[in-house]
Amino acid sequence: MITATIKEVEVSFRTKDGLFSPRSIDRGTLAMLSVIDFEQSDNICDLGCGYGVVGILAAKIIGPERVVMADNDVKAVEAAIENAQANHVAGVETVVSDGFTNVRQKDFTKIICHPPYHADFAVPKLFIEKGFNRLALDGRMYMVTKRKDWYKNKLISVFGGVKVWEIDEYFVFMAIKKSGSYANAKPRGKGSGGKKKS
């Protein structure tokens, strides 16, 4: 059992061998969460949810009906469902899904993702491109990785801009969906947080 207090919220998680970071909450996830503020009007997608750290925390802050958790690993989804129940947010929708394939919702205000950056870039490429289409206008995509250049360039090419933080040896990215940014593959203007930053 992992217990923690994140954003002044107490959470606990049962994990299983074979899941990502089964002994403690991943430092990259904590780094990413440190720059995210959850708002009552949010609709959140925890993409690649693992055993549910991000989605369950969000659900405890803004309500389970505003959160979707998705992962392609059946064992991870089973663990996330159990952890949602244990944390009293059983209403979170949790689905087995390869990317967004089985995610019905769109118009998310935030898509939050810790992609499998140890492999090739096919998965994060899909997450970024499909994620753009699932965001509401002015919605934000957050990602955390240990690699910078490819993610920075890809997010700029799709969203037109990206903000990057370096926290605890991780890179945290935030890109905002602006009208026309993907269609033109160029920024249309200098929106807040959408400026290119190293």
Q: What is the DSSP string of 178-193?
A: -TTHHHHTS--S--TT
Q: Find the mean pLDDT for residues 117-139.
A: 89
Q: How confident is the model at residue 118 (pLDDT cuts 50, 70, 90)?
A: low
Tell me whether residue 190 is in a domain.
Answer: no
Q: How confident is the model at residue 117 (pLDDT cuts 50, 70, 90)?
A: low
- Checking DSSP bridges between strand 67-71 and strand 93-96, what pairing results, if any? parallel
Q: How confident is the model at residue 182 (pLDDT cuts 50, 70, 90)?
A: low
Q: How confident is the model at residue 168 (pLDDT cuts 50, 70, 90)?
A: very high
Core vs surface per residue 30-42: b (16+ CB within 10 A) or e: bbbbeebebeeeb
Tell me whether residue 9 is in a domain.
Answer: yes
Lowest mean pLDDT among 4-8, 41-45, 178-182, 189-193: 189-193
Q: How confident is the model at residue 76 (pLDDT cuts 50, 70, 90)?
A: very high
3-state secondary structure of 48: coil
Q: How confident is the model at residue 186 (pLDDT cuts 50, 70, 90)?
A: very low
What's this model's pTM, rounded to 2 decimal places?
0.88
Per-residue pLDDT tens for 36-58? Answer: 999 999 999 999 999 999 999 99
Report the CATH number that the domain containing residue 25 is assigned in CATH: 3.40.50.150
The residue ranking higher by pLDDT, 120 or 79, is: 79
pLDDT of residue 179: 80
Q: Find the mean pLDDT for residues 11-21.
A: 88
Tell me whether residue 51 is in a domain.
Answer: yes
Tell me whether residue 161 is in a domain.
Answer: yes
Instruction: Say yes or no to pLDDT of 167 above 50.
Output: yes
Q: How confident is the model at residue 19 (pLDDT cuts 50, 70, 90)?
A: confident
pLDDT of residue 31: 97
- Domain containing 151 equals 2-184
| Number of domains making up the chain | 1
Tell me whether residue 192 is in a domain.
Answer: no
Q: How confident is the model at residue 187 (pLDDT cuts 50, 70, 90)?
A: very low
Q: How confident is the model at residue 110 (pLDDT cuts 50, 70, 90)?
A: very high
Find the helix packing angle between 122-134 and 149-159, rounded to 10°. Answer: 30
Tokens of 56: 């369950």
Tell me whether residue 132 is in a domain.
Answer: yes
Tell me whether residue 122 is in a domain.
Answer: yes
